[in-house]
Amino acid sequence: MSSLSQFFAELLSIVSLLGGAGGGDPTVSPDPNAFFSVGGTVTGLDSGEPLVLGLGDIQLEVDQDGSFVFADFTRADAPYDVVIVSEPPRLDCDIEGGSGVTEGQDVTDIGISCSSNASTELFSADRLHQVRLTMTLEEWRAFELDTIRANYSINDASGSASPLTSFSHSEVYRQADFSYLNADGTETQVEKVGFKMQGNTSRQYPVDQESEPNRPRRFAFSVKFDEEFDEDESVYACIDANGTPAAVSGEPCYDIVGQDLVEYPEADGREFMDVEKLRFRFNRDDPTYQREVLAHELLNAAGVPAARATHAQVNLVITGTEDQTLYNAALPQTFNMGVFTMMEQIDKPFLKLYFDKNGYLFKTGAPGNLAEPDAANRDCDPYEASTVFFNENFCVVGVEKSDPDSALEWLGEDNYLNPDFVNSNINGDGSAGNVSQFVPYKPTYDLKTKKKSLDEARAALQDFASFVQGRPTAEALSERFDVAGFIKAQAMEIVLGAVDHYVRVANNYYLYYNSPSGRWIYIPTDFDYTLIDVTGPNCAVNAFLPICNQILNVEAFTDLASTTAFDNGVSPHWAGRFFYPNYPPILWEIIFGSDSSPNDNSRQQLYQEIERILDQHFDWTLLAPTLEERRERLDAAIRSTDAADAETVLGDSECSQIYNPEEIDGDSMTFCSPSRASIKEFVAVRRETLLEELLQQ
């Protein structure tokens, strides 16, 4: 046999042997009893929450990029159909090759790609964002006038008002141009956006009149990209003898013209980087400028539905004509307003991005915790159907109305064209002076979405409040309320010492009705008072102190690092100090039970969440590098601020607002207020307190 013939014969033998071993003979059928897996690859999965996939009755959670597999799923030649059951918050995921037939082998080529929208870059915390707002002199002065004139400190629509929160309450949007510096160095401009002050007790006059020359003051504000200016922006204007907005000298008009604006319908539906609104919050109660951004970062990392937040430096430019001046200087003028917390708004875009579904969204104000009878009162009088401006029986569930529609509505038929009345200090001299007929309607539960369906939304929340007030079991409550999500949020609030929320203050949270699940969801917001520890007055021992004999319990905001989750008979505990003389936090009591009759299952879930947070997120070795990097990034921008520090009507403004990066990890004895702990000390004591409590279980 020739060498070539011998080579082909040997090759044929090898092929025959391989075929005999079952390695590829198409005539050999796969083992009908064998099981095959179905899987593939996921990319773009950057979230604290998992992607949930479904294959028949089986569900699989995927929490990172890479391969996934449904092992030993099906027999040979069986059909399969992998579907996306739920996406992580703020991600859109697409699947390719998700269905087919196994054909006697494992399936490994299903591809799933996830991506985020433009808002991810907007709230990136790895750089200092740059924002510029440009306003005309007329709009800046009109903004001042609105602040002065919207004084409703006598009463609101349902009762007496607190001067702390009602001395200025304007929600009128003034007009500005918005500019944002992109990560690549290019600039995006959005003209004619809405600009207004925000806040409750943090509101203030926007000009520091004690400095020479005067200058803007830092304050919280929001920017609205879809504002059409279709309301009467001159509602608080001073007027001349003809009833026309005019520059009137003296208090309270100060030669400022409260001008109306031309409507701008082009803004209808407009978004910037996939958001309709941005909030900018100054460093209230935080000399480090770090706490609120860190708190929101931890909330999102732990899977709590919450806004995203980052740092932004804001410049304010005031423009005018050659003959105009501001604070005795020519225009234009640019003011470095300093570093703010730039925050995502909880609104319709947030709901659709996080939950994939819009629904009834209520912002809850203090003191609202669903335990008060008014929350379930179906015999209340709807404000929107009323012809009067004051009624103690107005529903506590509704849509807020902060400002009148017109001067006629504000002051009434007999007064709105009378210059002597209009140009006086409306509501500023108490009930003995000139007062407005309009007063703000500020429902405890303020509907923020689907406002055209107010009747249905109100009925839904009242029905839920009635159900809660019937004290169902925790298991029954879970059918209508996201109990697991509430426990997770409470765990994070406890770890952070974030007391200005549901349990202690009945404040700063949203209730969202998720129609696909048929359950209400708790969404906490506004974490400016967090990671703060101040020594309290110990009123149990020092009951004689004046601070211990006030209606409001200041101890609700003290001794937080050493506060336990539940009562151990020694330390302050989370549900043991309420700020208001209010109804108790009913959701907390139903879910966790009382000390005499605890719900051990829910308490164990809370402890598990606390332990997870301490292990994965809340350790100084994890937090220190991030805070140090941000301190270096922010320091120069903060120190170059032109604007005056914000004032506050509560607390020591000099200590709570003045920049002090040493409060991150320094010695508290060197601080402006030595009773305040550094963030480092807070983390250490908080971990020690909670870990000790966990060990006792």
Residue-wise DSSP of 614-649: HHHT--HHHHHHHHHHHHHHHHHHHHT--SBPPP-S
pLDDT at 15: 37
CA distance 522 to 519: 10
How far is residue 154 from each of residues 165, 168, 245, 382, 438, measured CA to CA in Å? 11, 11, 25, 22, 11
Go through 509-546 and write b for each residue having 16 or more CB atoms within 10 A of its CB, e for each that does not.
bbbbbbeeeebbbbbbbbbbbbbbbbebbebeeeeeee
Q: Give me the count of residues in the chain.
A: 697
Residue 603 three-state SS: helix
pLDDT at 33: 66
Low-confidence residues of the chain, pLDDT below 50?
1-26, 651-652
Q: What is the pTM of this model?
A: 0.91
CA distance 499 to 577: 10
CA distance 614 to 294: 15
pLDDT at 369: 97
pLDDT at 683: 98
CA distance 230 to 274: 23
pLDDT at 8: 37
Element counts in the chain: helices (H) and strands (E): 17, 24
**Dihedral over alpha carbons 667, 673, 679, 685 (to 10 degrees):** 80
CA distance 66 to 69: 10
CA distance 139 to 147: 12
109: phi then psi, degrees, rounded to nearest 5? -110, 20
Inter-residue long-range contacts of 638-641, CB under 8 Å, 24+ positions, other chains counted: 638/289, 638/338, 638/339, 640/336, 641/218, 641/336, 641/337, 641/338, 641/339
What is the edge-to-edge ordering of all strands in the sheet holding 66-75? 66-75, 35-43, 107-115, 92-96
pLDDT at 206: 96
Residue 330 three-state SS: strand
CA distance 205 to 209: 9
Q: What domains lie within the chain, and their CATH numbers? A: 30-116 (2.60.40), 120-281+308-344+404-422 (no CATH)
pLDDT at 648: 65
> CA angle at residue 347 from 605 to 284, to 5 degrees?
75
pLDDT at 30: 60
Short-list 1, 69, 85, 83, CA closest to 35 = 69
